[in-house]
Amino acid sequence: MARRQGRRFKWFILPVVTVLILFLLVPIIFFQIFFSLHQWTAYIGEWWQAEFVGLEIFADVLGDARFYWALVRSLIFAGASTVLCLVIGFMLAYLMREPFRGRGFFYLLFITPMLVVPLAIGYNYEMLLVQKGPFNQLLSWITGQEIQVSWFAEAVPAFLSIIFIEVWNWTPFVFILMLAGLSGMPKEPIEAARVLGASPLQIFFQIQLPLLRPVIVLALILRFLEALGEYPKVWSLTRGGPGSYTETMPVYLYITSWEHFNISKGAAVSYLVLLIVAAIVYLCIRILLREKRALETLYRPSA
Amino acid sequence: MNRRARRRLYGVGRYVLLCLWLVVVIFPLFWSVMTSFKPPYQWFTWPPTWIPDPFTLNNYRVAWFGELLDTRYIASANVQTVFPALVNSVFIAGTSTMLSVVLGMLLAYGVSRYGILSERTLFRLLMLRMIPPIVVAVPVVLYYSTIGLLDSYPGLIIIYVVTTLPYSVWMIKSFIDEIPIEIEQAAELLGASRARTIGDIVFPLVRSGVVATFLFILILTWSEYLMALTLSSTNISTLPVALSKYEGSTEGRLYGWQQALAVGVTVPLIVIGWAIHRHLVRGFSFGMLRR
Amino acid sequence: MAEIRLVKLRKEFKGTVAVREMDLEIREGEFLVLVGPSGCGKTTTLRMIAGLEEPTSGEILIDGRTANDLEPGQRNLGMVFQNLALFPHKIVFENIAFGLRVKKVPSDEVRARVEQVARTMHITHLLAKLPAQCSGGEAQRVALARTLVTNPSAFLLDEPLSNLDAMLRKEMRAEIDALHSRLSKTFIYVTHDQEEAMTLADRIVVMRGGVMEQIGTPLEIYHEPANQFVASFFGSPAMNLLGGEVRQKAGRPAFLFDGGLVPLEQLGKVQEGPATLGIRPEAVRLDGVVNGYHGHVALVEPLGKETLVYLNYGAERLLVAVASPGLQVAEGMRVEFDFRGERFYLFDSEGRRLGRGD
């Protein structure tokens, strides 16, 4: 009976959702392909009058050093911020896995950065990181020296600052995931390990970490992919500056499409990026599925 | 060192480390709130003004009730209050979240109890969200302008529903999975119809989880910026877009007003987040945690 | 190799006292069972010995030295948990080897020792499997093997058989018993099952509400219970408890209950007042009873080797008797039963033992 109901249910809901998704997905892909093959400048006529130029635009993009730099920056940005989020988020979760006085208070405050509007975060830090600003002043107090780092006018500090605000914003997400993983872990094996003489370090590396692997992989994947596409914070903090030193891929794309009004180039770039992201996503799905399978064999007997 | 002392040392160390990060977390927020209360001459001083003196509510008055600067658009001197943006935000975020959650619930139940989607497809759905919005921004604009959905409520709402659906499905699914299916089977054996089982038994049990999911997705839709920016010009304009109007102002740095707006936009989200914090841990498992 | 002593051990949890001032000397090599109902503190006591809980006050001495400050891993004890606590992500071999690897024992020695223990516990064929792939009994053996291989000086077992089905339980019980005989090491075993306690223990510690009610050998506990609680906890079916009064009748003490009167001469001086008389079902005679108490049969339970007969006497009270298979009884039948001359126990209104009679 359940099967028949299931099938009715399926035909009821799936079409709705599929139509909804395809409604967006299909035209988007169409437009992207179209525009990457047709040169169109916004002022000259309607879009269907654009001139077909074959793969010229793709060649243009692939020959543009700025494109590669944008990709590289995105990868570094996403990679560094994800790793940092993981390390800090995990440490916080590990310290907070057992109840202690004030834990609820810390927890509430630690999840707050994730709740702040990303755009506002960018503006906030713009205020803080001004050369004659509070952050530098704070640094000066702590180190006792005059710190007057120009966080926006120099390449490396600017890049560090966008990584930092990404970490600030999203560590709570990883924190929550890690906390979920740690609190869901069975306690008795750890006690057994203690009685068998394992040190806390051994327990951590040999028991807790391996059992947490699926969640860690999940956190890494989700965070990395989302960081690749991060736009509001970078834009509001540096606008890709100084020059184009913090021009990550989304910023590059935005500038190409909306400031240079080069729609076709933007389409070509986004199409290429979509391909790259799709490849990464395909890999990630396989990894996630594999982790999930492995997790299931541990807890559900297959014998 | 005896055990109790060792434990106390660990406890102290823990507090120290946690407080360190606490400072990192609070510092920007503190500064933002303080700035929203500063009179204009204290917005950008050297040395920086930490505590406003005197406190003033004027920034809030200007940001929320006064006229919004609009210097981004060269073509029109379009000056407006923030009020329409507020209404739009509430409407758009509310509607899209509601739709996303309703669809998500149906899908989640179907997946959890009937297995209508394979695991692989579910993960593909999750990855759908991982497409950087910027990548589809241009095509969407063109597509929408062709079919007349540009700068319209349904247009943006559809985008939001599709991009948040993966989260809502996954989260609600994890809440439904928590309920042993035997409960439903017991109800059916007692003669309850499917609808009654779902409405009377399953739903009350997942209600708190669904509320948490709703609020979480509300946070996402409320703070979304890129799509709202590119898909709107005059008719619909959400709060984050309004916030960005202070950015390129030619009158110099309008920190006070900007922060007053930012604080107002963010505070509801913080309240919501704190209200649902207990459920976030339960909802964020994505199938990777043992049940 | 391990004489364990508990001195004034006390454990409090947020307002409730789990274990009250416990003094216990555990002899080397003995099989000691802590038994009692849920919440009596037996598991807490075991965990304190292991080092997983810290006592609120009191001392734990292992081989004469205070162990309170020692971490669980430093006490050289082996522990088997109720739900086994195997490492789900490690194969059986690595589960067993864990305790050795932690101490940096060289690989070939690890291999040799693990394989030997696996042979002893008959689980060699499981070494490459994951715990999830093992049955309940197999996993139980793996858990035992894991503690065995480290050669601890004493073994702590926390209700290891509770999660097994009845037949498996008996099998594993025998194995644990055999293990103890072979190793001659101290075993401290926690259970709520009185039958397990009776069959396995050299000595039993009966606990209730954090307090030791009695310590003794199984036979001592069975035949000389210190109070009503201990008496009714042990024995299956449970001891019959007849409510009534002690009265002086013509200068002689007697127990009055709904079925009649029981002379209490042998007890010597007994206080008058409400009391409870305890009689084990096997002490109630139904055969050839003359001048006994009257009752009628409420229920007959044939168990094969014996038959349980539930009797109503007086105002519908229940008494359980064990009848030999040959006895013809049917429900509703009126019978005469007697127990004078058998062992009985007298308890006051608080459950304390007043005396014992034969």
Q: Above 70 in pLDDT, residue C68?
A: yes
Nearest to C110 by CA among C119, C121, C99, C120: C99
**Contacting subunits of A (3+ beta carbon pairs below 8 A):** B, C
Helix (H, G, I), strand (E, B) or coil at B249: coil
Check residue C2 and give its pLDDT: 66
- Any idea what the CATH number is for the domain that residue C11 is in? 3.40.50.300
Lowest mean pLDDT across B114-118, C3-7, C66-70 = B114-118
CB C200 within 8 A of CB C45: no
Check residue B74 and give its pLDDT: 34
Residues of A in contact with C145 (CB under 8 A): none
Check residue B72 and give its pLDDT: 45
Check residue C155 and give its pLDDT: 94
Q: Above 90 in pLDDT, residue B98?
A: yes
How far CA C294 is from CA of C312, C313, C333, C338, in Å, comes to: 9, 6, 11, 9
**Is the CB of residue C232 less than 8 Å away from at least one CB of chain A?**
no
In angstroms, how far is the first alpha carbon of chain A from the final one?
Answer: 29
**Is the CB of residue A69 less than 8 Å away from at least one CB of chain B?**
no
Nearest to B147 by CA among A44, A17, A26, A258: A26
C245 & C328 share domain: yes
- Cβ-nearest to A302 among C52, C132, C146: C132
In residues, how long is chain C?
358
Last residue of some domain: C203, C232, C261? C232
Helix (H, G, I), strand (E, B) or coil at C352: strand
Helix (H, G, I), strand (E, B) or coil at B161: helix
Last residue of some domain: C232, C255, C283? C232
**Is the CB of residue B158 less than 8 Å away from at least one CB of chain A?**
yes
- The residues in C 49-68 lying below 8 A from A, measured between CB atoms, are 50-52
Report the chain C residue with the minimal C-alpha distance to residue B2: C69
Residues of C in contact with A291 (CB under 8 A): none
- Cβ-nearest to B225 among A118, A222, A266: A118
Report the chain B residue with the minimal C-alpha distance to residue A269: B135
Last residue of some domain: C201, C232, C263? C232
The per-residue pLDDT of chain C, averaged, comes to 87
- pTM, 2 dp: 0.84
C-alpha–C-alpha distance, residues C159 and C18, integer Å: 18
- Cβ-nearest to B135 among A127, A132, A274: A274
Contacts 24+ apart (CB under 8 A), A28-33: A28/B136, A28/B139, A28/B140, A28/B143, A29/B139, A30/B139, A31/A267, A31/B138, A31/B139, A31/B142, A31/B143, A32/A267, A32/A270, A32/A271, A32/A274, A32/B136, A32/B138, A32/B139, A33/A271
Q: How confident is the model at residue C118 (pLDDT cuts 50, 70, 90)?
A: very high
**Is the CB of residue B4 less than 8 Å away from at least one CB of chain C?**
yes
Lowest mean pLDDT across A180-189, B32-41, C273-282, C315-324 = C315-324
Mean pLDDT in each 10-residue stretch from start to end of chain A (303 residues)?
A: 62 83 85 80 65 78 87 93 96 91 91 91 87 82 78 86 94 92 88 91 91 89 90 87 85 86 83 88 87 80 43
Check residue B71 and give its pLDDT: 45
**Is the CB of residue B206 less than 8 Å away from at least one CB of chain A?**
no
Q: Above 80 in pLDDT, residue B75?
A: no
Nearest to C243 by CA among C226, C262, C270, C267: C262
Tokens coding C332 = 């509703």
Answer whether B4 sits within 8 Å of C71, measured CB to CB: no
Helix (H, G, I), strand (E, B) or coil at B74: coil
**Is the CB of residue C130 less than 8 Å away from at least one CB of chain A?**
yes
Tokens coding C327 = 């006895």
The secondary structure of C213-262 as a DSSP string is EEEE-HHHHHHS-SBHHHHHHSSSSPPEEEEEEEEEETTEEEEEETTEEE
Backbone angles phi, psi at B146, to 5 degrees: -70, -45
CA distance A199 to chain B (A): 14
C141 & C217 share domain: yes
Tokens coding A82 = 């994800």
Check residue C108 and give its pLDDT: 92
Check residue B73 and give its pLDDT: 38
Hey, what domains does chain A have and what are their CATH numbers? 1-54 (no CATH), 63-299 (1.10.3720.10)
C244 & C227 share domain: no
What is the mean pLDDT of the segment spanning B207-226? 89
State which amino acid sits at residue C57.
Answer: S
Domain B80-283: assigned CATH number: 1.10.3720.10
**Is the CB of residue A203 less than 8 Å away from at least one CB of chain C?**
no
**Contacting subunits of B (3+ beta carbon pairs below 8 A):** A, C
**Is the CB of residue B291 less than 8 Å away from at least one CB of chain C?**
no
Q: Check residues B13 and C262 and name the one with the higher pLDDT.
A: B13
Helix (H, G, I), strand (E, B) or coil at C204: strand
Domain count, chain C: 2
What is the mean pLDDT of the segment spanning B188-207? 81
Q: Above 90 in pLDDT, residue B164?
A: yes
C132 & C189 share domain: yes
Nearest to B69 by CA among B223, B189, B247: B247
Residues of C in contact with B291 (CB under 8 A): none
C55 & C179 share domain: yes
For C310, the domain range is 237-357
H or E segment to which residue C300 belongs? strand C293-302
Strand partners, C241: C278
C-alpha–C-alpha distance, residues B15 and B89, integer Å: 39
**Is the CB of residue C71 less than 8 Å away from at least one CB of chain B?**
yes
C-alpha–C-alpha distance, residues A85 and B47, integer Å: 32
C194 & C89 share domain: yes
CA distance C142 to chain A (A): 13
Secondary structure in 3-state letters for C18-43: EEEEEEEEECCCCEEEEECCCCCCHH
Q: Above 80 in pLDDT, residue B3?
A: no
C90 & C186 share domain: yes
Residues of C in contact with B4 (CB under 8 A): 54
What is the mean pLDDT of the segment spanning B223-234? 84
C149 & C252 share domain: no
**Is the CB of residue B146 less than 8 Å away from at least one CB of chain A?**
yes
Neighbour count for residue A68 (Cβ, 10 Å): 12
C184 & C256 share domain: no
Q: Above 60 in pLDDT, residue C95?
A: yes
Nearest to A112 by CA among A190, A50, A187, A169: A169
The residue ranges of DSSP E strands in chain A, in sequence order, are 38-39, 51-52
CA distance C71 to chain B (A): 8
Report the chain B residue with the minimal C-alpha distance to residue C88: B290
- The residues in C 40-59 lying below 8 A from B, measured between CB atoms, are 54
C128 & C53 share domain: yes
Tokens coding B259 = 């922060």
Which residues does B215 contact at the CB level (< 8 Å), separation at least 6? B272, B273, B275, B276
Report the chain A residue with the minimal C-alpha distance to residue B133: A229
Question: Would strands C334-337 and C344-348 be described as parallel, antiparallel, or unpaired?
Answer: unpaired
Domain positions in chain B are 80-283
Check residue B7 and give its pLDDT: 85
Q: How confident is the model at residue C206 (pLDDT cuts 50, 70, 90)?
A: very high
Check residue C322 and give its pLDDT: 79
CB A168 within 8 A of CB A233: no
- What percent of chain B shows pLDDT beyond 70? 92
Q: What are the tens digits of pLDDT across the range B30-70? A: 999 988 888 888 888 877 888 888 888 888 887 887 766 55
Nearest to A238 by CA among A164, A170, A174: A164
Note if the bond before A118 is cis, omega within 30 degrees: no
Check residue C254 and give its pLDDT: 82
Tokens 């162990």 appear where?
C67
State which amino acid sits at residue C243.
Answer: G
C-alpha–C-alpha distance, residues B166 and B168, integer Å: 6
Tokens coding C149 = 């291989």
CA distance C44 to chain B (A): 18
Nearest to B113 by CA among B204, B164, B183, B210: B183
